[in-house]
Amino acid sequence: MADCESGICDICHKESKSLSRKYYSYGFPCECHGGEHFELVRYCPNCEPHEPAYTKVRLTTKTVKELGRLWKEKTNEN
């Protein structure tokens, strides 16, 4: 992947003049990105990118209520 920008590496947290990007896609719609949710990791040449431990998602309250209902249905089946 080509170097695309300068800034702080998400992995080692050091300043770099040549950061690359890696996208992690999660296959569900969100309001954060206007389509499929993804996380972006910017990393320097000294680091290997890895999937973030936490993902921040922005959802409407209506969507959250529906997810809650689906989760309850699924967990009651087991």
Q: How much is the pLDDT for 27?
A: 83
Please state the rounded mean pLDDT for residues 58-78. 86
Three-state DSSP class for residue 40: strand
Domain containing 20 equals 5-77
**Spatial distance between the Cα atoms of 6 and 18, rounded to a whole number of angstroms:** 5
Q: Residue 3: is its pLDDT beyond 70? A: no
Task: Report the alpha-carbon distance of residue 45 to residue 55 in Å, rounded.
Answer: 24
Domain count, the chain: 1
Query: What are the pLDDT digits (tens) for 8-59?
Result: 999 999 999 999 999 999 888 788 877 888 999 999 999 999 999 998 888 8
Rounded to the nearest angstrom, the gap between the alpha carbon of residue 9 and the centroid of all alpha carbons in its chain is 15
- Would you state the structure tokens that stand for residue 72, as one six-digit string? 């309850």
Report which of residues 66 and 35 the model is more confident about.
66
Quote the pLDDT of residue 35. 80
Give the pLDDT score at 60: 86
The answer to whether residues 22 and 52 touch, using CB atoms and an 8 Å cutoff, is no
How far is Cα 5 from Cα 72, in angstroms, rounded to an integer? 44
